[in-house]
Structure 1
């Protein structure tokens, strides 16, 4: 695969490629009719994506006139290249910021819409992996010029636009609404494990020679583990390095506590909660966490954190996410 500088010569409908290492080396690609002021309707562009397993890279490529293949680094570069190549064709359809060269004498309205749908599918797949069509609709009344809503889709584009000035050397605007999603075959099928409602106190005993650590993502049934940890921490007077305290302190310090509190109690409980947890702007270690504070109905984000942290898919990932990752 070689890299080239590219120049578009629209007067003679050709592409000039300059070798990146040797600019004296020139390659000319005759894309369409080279005669000046002539018409051209056979420019064809097809998008496709290529995944390099060896380099773990996804390329956004296109094929011009069924024979020349171009590779770009991202979908934006491919869109720009595709739009530039579309200018070689006399008749163009523009949707959003993209252009497509079509032959109005051989392509019907239905075929034109299908071609745009195929191109959009490749584009969305290259952006975020969405390859399954959910919705595709052309708003005929918002097209420029408008298309009759009861128009027969099997009619040639020539029959729709032949009355326009300067036809067929024109650019038409179609208003397309579309939506894609990632197909289920690319997702991981899992089932959420049942959360135990009761855990015996024997399982919660911490051996004397084992350093106690606090997992901030405990379930309500594990509250006794939290109490054991807090009691032991108070006895040993160890400085708390609790990630949850650091997180909550930073949230409150940046005036974002309201994001963790339900709207119905926000106006009356914000200051109360700050007092209950012993918030001190200068010292996060003075935060107090108890079963009243760890209430799913007050600090609602805690419940979501617990669910995400203990989710089977997080387990399959090897528990790589820290608190700040999950909250983000």
Structure 2
């Protein structure tokens, strides 16, 4: 018992030390970067606020959510705090400005996070289609994967094509250099990541796993995650030359060896440092590599941070650098 208590005390010290690293970095370096003062007047239509004929897909800094469809997962006050990563519905996330979604499913097409489940993926599709009907120029990246340890839903590729067919932007490397106007009226890039079923092929209405990459670091230590995000981002080609989307997740996750295992208090250790990360991308010469930036419990300020950098790129402000 004594050794366990001692271990937890040391763990707590480590977390406090890592939090202080980010606090000190913020105080010394600040959060200012080209576009950081931008606040879109209409977050529901923020892409439309740019000229669709000039806004290229590879200029966009895409605000995304991690475990996007977990707002109603589990049992309230019992299991939900351990797995809930978002408090807003998919529709509300879209309206606040989210444009990339991370959806995990199991064999019966229910959304899940680990062993806990929530509503059917039909709800996600319905919310997305409602939003698409209410807007004209917003493009969404929908990543759907079979959760680890689960079986693929039968004929799920056909289901997605039937539900979203009129909106689907087909898998094609040339998309990365196109403007939004060149893609309209198609508006959904749907990445389907099955565990065992055949992957989507080139030219398919769906995109394969290789088109959405990340380097997931499973840790509850905020500075460790922050620094690893920067390291892996620095190793990527600039957005102007790569033919895949790369995601950075401004999240930390509960660990079994820590007494705090609820998502929100753990992820809050890094949540407020999204603008600091973007500012550090400039400081370290990686601002031309940031593309998808995701978070738990997305809010308006996180969206604004991404939209501001997008505007800087469109307006040709100095955003490039070499790592």
**TM range, smaller chain:** under 0.3
RCO comparison, higher one (Cα < 8 Å, 6+)? 2
Structure with greater helix share of residues = 2
Which structure has the larger Rg?
Answer: 1
Structure with greater strand share of residues = 1
TM-score w.r.t. length of structure 2 = 0.19
